[in-house]
Amino acid sequence: MRGVSVFGDRRQHFESMKDLWEMFRVILEERKRREFDPTIAVVRECVAEAKKSGSTDVYAREHMEELLEFIVLLSALFEEFRSLSPSALKGLVKLRGGLRKLLRG
């Protein structure tokens, strides 16, 4: 949403985004910024602390490292999606099952 002026009215009015794909992209960016990025930082810190202390269970440390790798990969995938135009993103979403068939073959 963004503020817009209405001639002759002192109140602030708001206008929503018209393009649903752009709105979807903005929502994903905000979720990434508020949820993914801080989570990556915390898990990185936990992995570093586990490596440094040496007293952490090997299984727990390996599991945290796998979690970190997973989250970083998903974050990178989001960055790839973010660089796509709305029409390319829409085409990719329409592929759904076709993409699965392509990857199996």
pLDDT for 44 equals: 96
pTM (predicted TM-score): 0.69
Q: What is the pLDDT of residues 40-58, one digit of tens each?
A: 999 999 999 888 877 668 8
Q: Report H helices in the chain.
A: 20-31, 37-53, 58-82, 86-104
pLDDT in tens, 51-82: 887 766 888 889 999 999 999 999 999 888 88
Q: What is the DSSP letter of 35?
A: I
Q: Which residues pair with 3 in a beta bridge?
A: 14
Cβ-based neighbours of 71, under 8 Å, separated by 6 or more: 36, 39, 40, 43
Confidence label for 6 from pLDDT (cuts 50, 70 and 90): low
Higher pLDDT, 35 or 6: 35
